[in-house]
């Protein structure tokens, strides 16, 4: 799990708001790229670029529902092990596109010509 300092960075960056739906109720810090099964956690796992705020409801759905998992991959909320969180865009609930850095900042991208 991320340190309290990293959790604080994520809460401030995301303003405690879910990237999926915009709620600030019952949110959690979510790893975009899974931490791995057993053994030592990846060095990427607890970096700010790999973490974002998601509501508990959607956090559960991403693991339990194929449509939710597909949406999460399309919007950068879930990443493959081969993807680098610092170079993978993420889409906010309002449709804006962002890049997350490891300093705890989010950088809004121009959407025109992005995809």
pLDDT tens per residue across span 62-114: 999 999 999 999 999 999 999 999 999 999 999 999 999 999 999 999 865 55
Bridge partner residues of 29 (DSSP): 53
Bridge partner residues of 98 (DSSP): 90, 108
Cα–Cα separations (whole angstroms), residue 5 to 12, 40, 106:
11, 21, 17
Mean predicted lDDT score pLDDT of the chain: 91
Give the burial class of 108: count Cβ atoms within 10 A of its Cβ; 0-12 exposed, 13-18 middle, 19 or more buried: exposed
Question: In this prediction, what percent of the chain has a pLDDT beyond 70?
Answer: 89
List, as own/partner pairs, every contact residues 95-102 make where C-beta atoms lie below 8 angstroms and the sequence separation is at least 24, other chains included. 100/13, 100/48, 100/49, 100/50, 100/51, 100/52, 101/48, 101/49, 102/47, 102/48, 102/49
- Per-residue pLDDT at 49 exceeds 80: yes
- Per-residue pLDDT at 39 exceeds 50: no
Q: Are 46 and 104 in contact (CB under 8 A)?
A: no
pTM value is: 0.89
């Amino acid at each position: 799990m991320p340190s309290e300092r990293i959790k604080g960075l994520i809460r401030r960056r995301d303003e405690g708001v879910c990237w999926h739906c915009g709620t600030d109720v019952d949110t959690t810090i979510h790893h975009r790229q899974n931490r791995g099964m057993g053994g030592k956690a990846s060095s990427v796992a607890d970096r700010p670029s790999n973490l974002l705020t998601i509501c508990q409801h959607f956090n559960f759905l991403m693991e339990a529902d194929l449509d939710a998992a597909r949406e999460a991959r399309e919007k950068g909320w879930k990443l493959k092990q081969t993807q680098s969180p610092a170079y993978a865009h993420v889409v906010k609930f309002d449709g804006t596109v962002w890049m997350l850095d490891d300093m705890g900042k989010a950088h809004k991208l121009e959407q025109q010509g992005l995809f």
